[in-house]
Structure 1
Amino acid sequence: MRAVLRTVNRVFLGLVGLVLLVLGGSVLAVGLGAPVPSWWIHDSEHDVLLSDAERTRWRDDGWWWPVVIAALAVLLLLALWWLVSVLRRRRLAEVLVDTGDGEGALVRGRALENALTQESARIDGVGGAHARLKGRRATPEAHVHLALEPHVDPGTALHDFTTGALTHARTSAGLASLPAEVRLKGVKHGAERVS
């Protein structure tokens, strides 16, 4: 799902950038004296984008300015929401490890994620695992997806994960606690032809 959202985001940004580049480039080219394209909204380089009549058309109507301000406010809020969602880190970059001497050390978040993923994948009956760390570097949270084989009891797999991989990750990082959200799903096997 994340890959689809990332692809949609990149395609959308590419299309918006392309449209802005074409429009801006054509305005610049026409303004510098290039021939006016057939699809251009005005006839010559001396035309203004909005005439006085077009600019002042609804100025005296009471609904015009509140609608314009509301529409611009909604566009601004959508743009800010999009910017925050793009810039927000999806994963924890580093984890603060207690070294026991009053100081601390930083461990790359991906290193701890990889260790947690690899140990989780070795649990009996787990067909695949993926771990991601979120939260703050002093109090990380693990988000783990486990793909279980059909014959495995989910309770047993969850117990093996919490007493094994999760406990090892918590103790090796010197964390007082490592809360985890675990999502279990069954592995889907393709049909095989038996002769």
Structure 2
Amino acid sequence: MLRTVNRVLIGVVGLVLVVLGGSVLAVGLGAPAPSWWIHDGRHDVLLSDAERTRWRDAGWWWPVVIAVLAVLLLLVLWWLTAVLRRRRLAEVLVDTGDGAGALLRGRALQTVLAREAAELDGVAHAHVHLTGRRTAPETRVRLQLEPHVDPGTALHQLTTEALAHARNSAGLASLPAEVRLRAVKHGAERVS
């Protein structure tokens, strides 16, 4: 979801900046001002004295300005912490026995682990996030289970099959995992 929010936010901000900046540049270079443009020509100022002092005496002005700025600040801080918190492990160091080691892409290990977890009996969808250090990776696994599946059985299959295969194939001594299980929402069945 954060990837979609980032793309939409960056796209909207970029579009607004390109339209406004292009308009300011075009009017400043002598092009006729568009009909929606708030200024008349290239020698017009962006904010006149009347526009800057228009709402100064209104009692509601400063609380509204402060509230809008506070909401914007909170949204920017939320976005910034969400982006900084999303650290994925880029690579895992695999011990090859010769002392040099090999690097395994973290995204590849995530993808394989997610596919193998999704193929388990009763798992509708699996999402894997690899964190930690490259010498000691950790995983966060989210499983969406079908309604008929026992969560204990699904967890046992995940640890003995998918996680064990990932740990053994990467040559890791351990692969700690945080697993979150959720049931798939389904509609009521029709009885006739």
- TM superposition score normalised by structure 2: 0.72
Instruction: Give 2:98's match in structure 1, choosing from 82, 89, 101.
Output: 101
Whole-angstrom distance in 1 between the partners of 2:189 and 2:148:
18
After superposition, give the CA deviation of every residue in 1:11-57 in whole Å (9 maximum; x if it has no partner).
Answer: 2222222221222112111111112334433333212334589889x
1:178 pairs with 2:155: no
User: Deviation digits for residues 137-168 of structure 1, max 9, x if unmatched?
Assistant: 22211111222233332223212222222122
**Change over 3 Å in CA distance of 1:129–1:45 after alignment to 2:** closer
Q: Which runs of 5+ in 2 are unaligned?
A: 57-68
Instruction: Please give the root-mean-square deviation of Cα atoms over the aligned residues, in Å.
Output: 3.6
Indicate whether 1:158 and 2:155 are aligned.
yes
For 2:82 and 2:148, how far apart are their aligned partners in 1?
Answer: 39
Cα distance change of structure 1 residues 177 and 35 upon mapping to structure 2, 3 Å threshold: same
Deviates more, 1:21-30 or 1:46-55: 46-55
How many residue pairs match? The answer is 181
1:142 aligns with 2:139: yes
Change (3 A) 1:20 1:122: closer
Residue 97 of structure 1 deviates from its aligned partner by 0.8
The one-letter code matched in structure 2 to 1:136 is R
CA distance in 2, matches of 1:165, 1:127: 15
After superposition, the C-alpha distances for 1:97-155 in whole angstroms (9 at most, x for unaligned) are 11122221111223222332233234333333232212222221111122223333222
Q: Percent identity?
A: 76
Give the TM-score normalised by the residue count of structure 1: 0.71
Do the aligned residues in 1 keep the contact of 2:28 with 2:41 (CA within 8 Å)? no
Alpha carbons of structure 1 residues 7 and 123: separation in structure 2 relative to 1, 3 Å: closer
Query: Unpaired runs of 5+ in structure 1?
Result: 59-70
